Homo-oligomer: A and B are copies of this chain.
Amino acid sequence: MKDLVSRCPIEEGMQVLGGRWPTLLIYYLKDGTKRFSDLRRDNPTVSHRILTLELRKLEKAGIVRRTSHEGYPLKVEYDLTPAGLTLVPLIDAIGDWWEGLHPDADVDGAEKQSAA
């Protein structure tokens, strides 16, 4: 997603939220403050480089806050900003919408038996 093609706030917002990780990260941060390594452990499928990049992007967008503590061992904490918190119900709504549209359809192919 290199650049925008319009000045639509929807497009701008989706550029930040659009990828695979942003909503996931927001969801993990919903539970409260997390350290970088916590987030790494929470979703091991994201590389630390991308995790860093995504967190920075969310930080720059004003969705998460990064708090770097001085001492050693290093400690950096991430949590949602107030704006990030207000976003949560909105992406929740999209989840609900999707769930209503595709009721319990498993996209991946697991759990084939529905009525046992």
Binding site for B on A (CB under 8 A): 1, 4-20, 23-24, 27, 43, 45-46, 61-62, 83, 86-87, 90-102, 106-108
Q: Would A97 and B93 count as touching, CB distance under 8 A? A: no
Main secondary structure of the interface of A (DSSP, over half): helix
> Among B7, B91, B101, B102, which residue has its beta carbon within 8 angstroms of that of A106?
B7
> Among B6, B90, B98, which residue has its beta carbon within 8 angstroms of that of A97?
B90
A-B contact pairs, 6 of them (CB 8 A): A5-B45, A7-B106, A14-B18, A14-B23, A14-B91, A18-B20
Query: How near does chain B come to A46, taking the closest CB pair, in angstroms?
Result: 8
Q: Would A94 and B19 count as touching, CB distance under 8 A? A: no
In the bound complex, how far is the Cα of B99 from the Cα of A68, in angstroms? Answer: 28
In the bound complex, how far is the Cα of B96 from the Cα of A13, in angstroms? Answer: 9
Q: Would A94 and B13 count as touching, CB distance under 8 A? A: yes
Enumerate chain B residues within 8 angstroms of A11, measured Cβ to Cβ.
20, 23-24
